[in-house]
Amino acid sequence: MLPRRMARVFIDGQEGTTGLEIQERLARRSDLELISIAAERRKDREARRACIEAADVTILCLPDAAAKEAVALAEGSSRVRFIDASTAHRTAPGWIYGLPELAPGQREQIRGARLVSNPGCHATGFALLLRPLVDAGVVPRDYPIFAQSITGFSGGGKKLIQAFEEGPPEKVAPPRPYALALQHKHLPEMQHMSGLSHLPGFVPIVGPFYRGMLVSVPLEVRALARAVSPQEVSAIYAERYARERYVRVVPFGDDGALDDGTHLSPLGCNDTNRVDLFVFGHASQLFLTARLDNLGKGASGAAVQNLNLMLGADEGTGLTV
C-alpha cells in the first residue's frame, strides 16, 4: 500500500500580517507541504496560477480585488479549493462561511466545501453573540442593534501598524473610533450570519495594543421578543456551545475573569483560537461581550481551523485553546 501523499497548501499573500501568521502555524506541521513562490514572482499571474493548481487548498490573504482575481485564475477547475481571508466572498453565493460554531450543520458544510470564506474578526464575535439569541426567539430579527468593538492595531494592516509603532505617543496612545460613516466592511456578514433583517449599527475602536479585541452588544430587555435575565442568556450560550472546544461561556457573575474584579481586558484570548463569551447586566439591560484574538480566531487561527476541516484533519491541529 502506497503512503498517503501530504496535502499541499499555497498561501497567496503570505507576506501580509494574516499570511505570515498562517504560515507560522503551518510551517511546524509534518502532515502538510507548503507551496512557495519566489518573491519576485508573487504578482506573476501564471506563476500564481501554477501554485494554485498544484495545491489541494489555496489560502487567499489578499485585498478583495486580488482575491477575486485569484479565484478567477482557477475558473473552470472543479478540483481547486479556496479559503478566502478577504471580505470579497463572505456573503457571496456558492461560498460557505468559515465559522464552524455558527450554527448546527455549519462544520459539515465547511468539510465538504470547495469555496470557504474566512470570517471577519468583528463579525466572528458579533455572530457568536447574536445568532443563538435570534435562533432562540429572544432577539427579534428587526431589533435595532448597535454594537461596538475595541481591537488591537494589528487588524489595520501594515500602514496602521507602522503608525502605532513609529508615531508620536500623543497621537497613537488614546483609543480612536473609526468607520464613523457607519459603513464598516464587516456589516453585510454581521447582518447575514446573525439572522438580522437589517444592517446593525457598528462603530469599532482601535486601541494602543497590538492584538486582542472585545466585541460588545448592548440590549434593552423591554425591546426583546421575550424578557430574559442575564442568567438565562448565559444558559442559552452554555447549551449552544457546550461541545465547542474554541468557545468558552464565562458564567454570569464570575468576576474572576475581570481585572481586579472590575475591568475586562481585550488581551485574555491572545495567542489562542478561543472566544470567551460574557453576559453582563441586570433585569432591564444586557451587555454581551465576545473576547478573541483578532489575529487568531479572528483571522489566521480561523483559517487553519477551516483548513483542518477541509483536509479531514483533526480540527485543532496546530491551534491553541
Residues 140-154 pLDDT 10s: 999 999 999 999 999
Predicted pLDDT at 2: 44
Mean pLDDT of 196-213: 97
Question: What's the pTM value of the predicted model, to 2 decimals?
Answer: 0.96
Residue pLDDT, tens place only, 28-79: 899 999 999 988 888 899 999 999 999 999 999 999 999 999 999 998 777 8
Catalytic one of 51, 61, 121, 269: 121
* Greater pLDDT, 160 or 101: 101
Residue pLDDT, tens place only, 73-97: 998 777 899 999 999 999 999 999 9
Mean pLDDT of 276-303: 98
Checking if the pLDDT of 184 tops 60, the result is yes
**Phi, psi (rounded to 5 degrees) for 153:** -75, -10
Mean pLDDT of 218-243: 98
Predicted pLDDT at 149: 98
Instruction: Classify 66 as helix, strand or coil.
Output: helix
Checking if the pLDDT of 1 tops 60, the result is no
What whole-number distance in Å separates Cα of residue 295 and Cα of residue 213? 10
**Phi, psi (rounded to 5 degrees) for 308:** -60, -45
Q: How confident is the model at residue 139 (pLDDT cuts 50, 70, 90)?
A: very high
| Mean pLDDT of the chain, nearest integer | 95
What whole-number distance in Å separates Cα of residue 247 and Cα of residue 50? 38
Q: How confident is the model at residue 3 (pLDDT cuts 50, 70, 90)?
A: low
Pairing type for strands 275-281 and 285-292 reads antiparallel
- H or E element that contains 96: strand 96-97
- H or E element that contains 67: helix 64-73
Pairing type for strands 81-84 and 57-60 reads parallel
Residue pLDDT, tens place only, 161-174: 888 888 888 777 88
Predicted pLDDT at 171: 74
Predicted pLDDT at 192: 98
Predicted pLDDT at 166: 85
Checking if the pLDDT of 158 tops 90, the result is no
Residue pLDDT, tens place only, 244-267: 999 999 999 998 889 988 999 999
Instruction: Classify 127 as helix, strand or coil.
Output: helix
Predicted pLDDT at 4: 66
**Which cell is 224 given?**
426583546
Neighbours of 205 (CB within 10 A): 16
Between the alpha carbon of residue 216 and those of residues 138, 155, 191, the distances in Å are: 17, 17, 15
% of the chain residues with pLDDT over 90: 85
121 catalytically annotated: yes
**Which cell is 116 given?**
470557504
